[in-house]
Chains A and B, each alone.
Chain A
Amino acid sequence: MSSTISSGGPPIVEVAELTRAFGTRRALAGVTFSLGRGECLALFGPNGAGKTTLLRVLAGLLRPSSGSARVSGIQLPGGALARSRVGLISHRTMLYEALSPRENVSFAARLYGVRDVNARVEDSLRRMSMLERGDAPVRSLSRGMQQRVSIARAMVHTPQLVLADEPYSGLDDGGARALTSLLGELRSAGTAIIVVTHNLAEGLSLATHAAVMQRGRFVRYDPADRIDATAYSTTYREALAGG
């Protein structure tokens, strides 16, 4: 199923017939979609459907086997320039446990060449309500707090595209609300977002578009005004049953 969205401006993400194979297994089997500024794609599907592989290709961590993927007009794998446009959130926090939240976020800011590092770090931590615990070692924080720091780390360079793989994993209600609010703010500011989640309600509350993946393909794709939560729930359950 191909899916094209037009928001008037040039798309932030353009994916055409994208495949990615691991040996003989195709994790992505011809995915096509595009996403413009301020748009959010909620991606659902069972484990092994190819959702994380799609995000890893867009983050520059995996090379496509065939097809084409562009971020901000840059063909992937596009090296440093393409990677500088992307913020990656995962259920793995990607943090250094011996360092503090402030040090982790500051390290990321320096890698991304952020100007006025200290102010950006403080702002990112404040947005995720982590200023008070900013100097505690990450290993001393709860899983949910670590996830908040991970989100602050991913946002510190103001990415044009946010890739969020199970971002609500480990977050309590407050953390989930802060994340939803932050993603909403980013959308309003023109950031494109792809959220992978198993929680239909959370995903659909953010989305301008939604898709269900199964065996490396989009088996359902709809823009927001045609999203029917009941129909999605049915397709999602069928995808889960089909593996």
Chain B
Amino acid sequence: MADVLFAAWVIARKDLAIEFRTRSAFFSAVIFALLGLVIFYFAWDPTAVTVNDLAPGVLWVIFTFSGLLGLHRSFGVETEDHAIDGLLASPVSRESIFLGKAIANLIFVAAVQLIAIPALVVFYNLPLGNVAIPLIAIAFLAAVGLVAVGTLFSAMAVNTRLAELLLPMLSLPFFVPIVIAASQSTAKLLSGRPIVEAAAWIKLLIAFDIIFVAACTVAYPFTVDD
């Protein structure tokens, strides 16, 4: 198990180093998230919908779609001069490759969230107060599930002609339970309800995380072995 995790970290570090050099996906995702916030802000009628009702939806729409930008790039870098062959011919397990990609994607999504959440708070004048830490925890839990599913489908879609279309088409149906649980628990917190009222949604989020991480890790080798 230690070998699997070590190899996964080596692969994640490599992916993060590439993203740090190019910054193409990160800038795209951050700008997409900020533009999303602005557009929703101007489309919002505060007399019809309160900020506490609107913000969870806005937050999870922009996280879901900005995350897809990074997920698409995850296996895209492996198509450069068939780099994936070098990875698959190495002695690391297929599970390590999946987990490495997923760890890099998780850090990518978390970095986007670190910018987008404060931006949301400022734009919508959210009374974050003492719910900041639970909100960050929910964002992290949701990111785990989104990244597990997205990484698997990124691997499947990367060699197709319509990869940029296929990835969201395949991923979004599986994102639904994660996004519902995340947005519902976020709504409870932002509306000032006690955290125990969000506990059922958070438990659901954890359950889906466990299922998706395990299922996608097991399924990944079948997407690369002929």
Contact = CB atoms under 8 A, between A and B. Distances in A.
A86 B88 CA distance: 12
A86 B86 CA distance: 11
Contacts of A77: 225
B17 to A, nearest CB: 6
Interface centre among A99, A111, A113, A137 (most CB of B within 10 A): A111
> What is the predominant secondary structure among interface residues of chain A facing chain B?
loop
B88 A80 contact: no
A97 B80 CA distance: 7
B87 to A, nearest CB: 7
A88 B82 CA distance: 12
A94 B93 contact: no
A120 B139 CA distance: 42
A103 B77 CA distance: 15
A65 to B, nearest CB: 10
A169 to B, nearest CB: 12
Contact of B77 (A63, A81, A83, A96): A96
A212 to B, nearest CB: 25
Contact of A99 (B21, B91, B93): B21
B18 interface: yes
Interface in A74-124: 77, 80-81, 83-84, 86, 88, 90, 92-99, 103, 107-108, 110-113
B21 A81 contact: no
Contacts of A97: 80-81
Given A95-B81, A97-B81, A83 B18 contact: no
B88 A137 contact: no
A77 to B, nearest CB: 8
Contacts of A99: 14, 17-18, 21
Interface in A128-162: 137, 146, 153
Contacts of A81: 91
B21 A137 contact: yes
A61 B86 contact: no
Contacts of A59: 85, 89
B92 interface: yes
Contacts of B182: none
Contacts, number: 75
B160 interface: no
B165 interface: no
A61 B18 contact: no
Given A61-B85, A112-B90, A113-B91, A96 B18 contact: yes
Given A63-B225, A98-B21, A92 B81 contact: yes
A98 B91 contact: no
Nearest to A146: B81
Nearest to B22: A98
B10 interface: yes
A90 B14 contact: no
Contacts of B31: none
Nearest to A56: B85
A60 interface: yes
A61 B91 CA distance: 11
Contacts of B80: 95-97
Contact of B88 (A61, A63, A95, A153): A61
B202 to A, nearest CB: 37
Given A96-B14, A96-B83, A111-B10, 15 more contacts: A59-B85, A59-B89, A60-B89, A77-B225, A83-B90, A83-B91, A90-B85, A93-B81, A94-B83, A95-B81, A97-B80, A97-B81, A103-B17, A111-B92, A113-B91
Top 6 nearest A-B pairs by Cβ distance? A94-B86, A84-B91, A80-B91, A92-B82, A111-B90, A98-B21
27 contacts: A61-B85, A62-B226, A77-B225, A80-B93, A84-B91, A92-B85, A94-B81, A94-B83, A95-B81, A95-B83, A96-B18, A96-B77, A97-B80, A97-B81, A98-B18, A98-B77, A99-B17, A99-B18, A99-B21, A108-B86, A108-B90, A110-B10, A111-B7, A111-B10, A137-B21, A146-B81, A153-B86
Interface of B: 7, 10-11, 14, 17-18, 21-22, 77, 80-83, 85-93, 225-226
